[in-house]
Amino acid sequence: QVQLVESGGALVQAGGSLRLSCAASGRTFSSYTMGWFRQAPGKEREFVAAISWSGGRTGYADSVKGRFTISRDNAKNTLYLQMNSLKPEDTAVYYCALDQGTWLPHASRQDYDYWGQGTQVTVSS
Protein backbone atom coordinates (compact mmCIF):
# COMPACT_ATOMS: atom_id res chain seq x y z
CA GLN A 1 0.00 0.00 0.00
CA VAL A 2 1.19 3.49 -0.88
CA GLN A 3 -0.15 6.65 0.67
CA LEU A 4 0.49 10.05 -0.85
CA VAL A 5 -0.40 13.21 1.06
CA GLU A 6 -0.16 16.62 -0.54
CA SER A 7 0.32 19.82 1.39
CA GLY A 8 1.14 23.45 0.78
CA GLY A 9 -1.94 24.56 -1.08
CA ALA A 10 -3.19 28.01 -0.18
CA LEU A 11 -4.81 31.19 -1.37
CA VAL A 12 -2.22 33.34 -3.10
CA GLN A 13 -2.31 36.51 -5.14
CA ALA A 14 -1.49 36.45 -8.83
CA GLY A 15 2.24 36.66 -9.33
CA GLY A 16 2.94 34.94 -6.05
CA SER A 17 4.60 31.64 -5.31
CA LEU A 18 3.79 28.42 -3.52
CA ARG A 19 5.63 25.19 -2.94
CA LEU A 20 3.57 22.03 -2.82
CA SER A 21 4.83 18.91 -1.13
CA CYS A 22 3.78 15.30 -1.43
CA ALA A 23 4.83 12.95 1.33
CA ALA A 24 4.87 9.25 0.53
CA SER A 25 4.56 6.39 2.95
CA GLY A 26 4.41 2.65 2.51
CA ARG A 27 7.06 2.77 -0.21
CA THR A 28 10.23 4.57 -1.01
CA PHE A 29 10.50 6.66 -4.16
CA SER A 30 13.25 4.43 -5.52
CA SER A 31 12.60 3.50 -9.16
CA TYR A 32 9.22 5.22 -9.17
CA THR A 33 8.21 7.93 -11.57
CA MET A 34 6.20 10.67 -9.90
CA GLY A 35 4.12 13.50 -11.20
CA TRP A 36 1.74 16.32 -10.47
CA PHE A 37 -1.70 16.71 -11.97
CA ARG A 38 -4.38 19.29 -11.35
CA GLN A 39 -8.12 19.49 -11.73
CA ALA A 40 -10.23 22.62 -11.90
CA PRO A 41 -14.02 22.59 -11.49
CA GLY A 42 -15.73 21.27 -14.60
CA LYS A 43 -12.49 20.09 -16.16
CA GLU A 44 -10.68 16.79 -16.47
CA ARG A 45 -7.60 16.16 -14.42
CA GLU A 46 -4.65 17.43 -16.42
CA PHE A 47 -0.96 16.76 -16.41
CA VAL A 48 1.27 19.37 -14.84
CA ALA A 49 4.74 17.90 -14.43
CA ALA A 50 6.58 14.62 -13.97
CA ILE A 51 10.01 13.58 -12.82
CA SER A 52 12.15 10.50 -13.17
CA TRP A 53 13.33 8.55 -10.16
CA SER A 54 16.79 10.11 -10.40
CA GLY A 55 15.42 13.59 -10.92
CA GLY A 56 17.48 13.87 -14.08
CA ARG A 57 14.53 13.97 -16.44
CA THR A 58 11.51 16.19 -16.09
CA GLY A 59 8.55 17.11 -18.21
CA TYR A 60 6.05 19.95 -17.99
CA ALA A 61 2.76 20.94 -19.46
CA ASP A 62 3.14 23.90 -21.78
CA SER A 63 0.88 25.94 -19.52
CA VAL A 64 3.36 25.80 -16.64
CA LYS A 65 6.68 25.56 -18.45
CA GLY A 66 9.10 28.14 -17.13
CA ARG A 67 7.01 28.88 -14.05
CA PHE A 68 6.80 25.57 -12.21
CA THR A 69 9.63 23.30 -11.14
CA ILE A 70 9.19 19.70 -10.07
CA SER A 71 11.73 18.05 -7.82
CA ARG A 72 12.03 15.14 -5.45
CA ASP A 73 14.01 14.24 -2.39
CA ASN A 74 14.12 10.47 -2.29
CA ALA A 75 15.82 10.44 1.11
CA LYS A 76 12.77 12.24 2.50
CA ASN A 77 10.27 10.36 0.33
CA THR A 78 8.93 13.72 -0.74
CA LEU A 79 7.93 15.23 -4.07
CA TYR A 80 7.79 18.98 -4.58
CA LEU A 81 6.26 21.43 -6.98
CA GLN A 82 7.62 24.96 -6.83
CA MET A 83 5.09 27.28 -8.41
CA ASN A 84 6.15 30.79 -9.32
CA SER A 85 4.39 33.60 -11.17
CA LEU A 86 1.05 32.08 -10.35
CA LYS A 87 -1.94 32.97 -12.49
CA PRO A 88 -5.67 32.71 -11.75
CA GLU A 89 -5.88 29.90 -14.31
CA ASP A 90 -3.58 27.85 -12.08
CA THR A 91 -6.44 27.57 -9.59
CA ALA A 92 -7.17 23.88 -9.11
CA VAL A 93 -6.83 20.95 -6.80
CA TYR A 94 -3.31 19.63 -7.23
CA TYR A 95 -2.65 15.92 -6.96
CA CYS A 96 0.58 14.00 -6.76
CA ALA A 97 0.83 10.59 -8.35
CA LEU A 98 3.22 7.66 -8.44
CA ASP A 99 3.83 5.14 -11.21
CA GLN A 100 5.38 1.95 -9.88
CA GLY A 101 6.00 0.57 -13.35
CA THR A 102 8.69 2.92 -14.59
CA TRP A 103 11.34 5.35 -13.50
CA LEU A 104 10.80 7.64 -16.50
CA PRO A 105 8.59 10.72 -16.44
CA HIS A 106 5.40 10.68 -18.45
CA ALA A 107 2.00 12.34 -18.69
CA SER A 108 -0.19 9.26 -19.07
CA ARG A 109 -2.72 9.57 -16.27
CA GLN A 110 -3.95 6.00 -16.59
CA ASP A 111 -0.48 4.60 -15.96
CA TYR A 112 -0.05 6.22 -12.57
CA ASP A 113 -0.89 3.73 -9.85
CA TYR A 114 -1.29 5.83 -6.71
CA TRP A 115 -2.82 9.23 -6.07
CA GLY A 116 -3.01 11.64 -3.21
CA GLN A 117 -6.18 13.34 -2.03
CA GLY A 118 -5.17 16.70 -3.43
CA THR A 119 -4.44 20.15 -2.11
CA GLN A 120 -6.32 23.27 -3.13
CA VAL A 121 -4.46 26.10 -4.81
CA THR A 122 -6.42 29.28 -5.35
CA VAL A 123 -4.89 32.23 -7.17
CA SER A 124 -6.67 35.54 -6.87
CA SER A 125 -6.18 38.76 -8.78
List residues bridging with 82 in a β-sheet. 19, 69
Q: Are 24 and 116 in contact (CB under 8 A)?
A: no
- pLDDT tens, 82-116? 999 999 999 999 999 999 888 899 999 999 999 99
C-alpha to C-alpha distances, 76 to 2, 73, 79, 82, 119, nearest whole angstrom: 15, 5, 9, 17, 19
- pLDDT tens, 5-61? 999 999 999 999 999 999 999 866 567 899 999 999 999 999 999 999 888 899 999
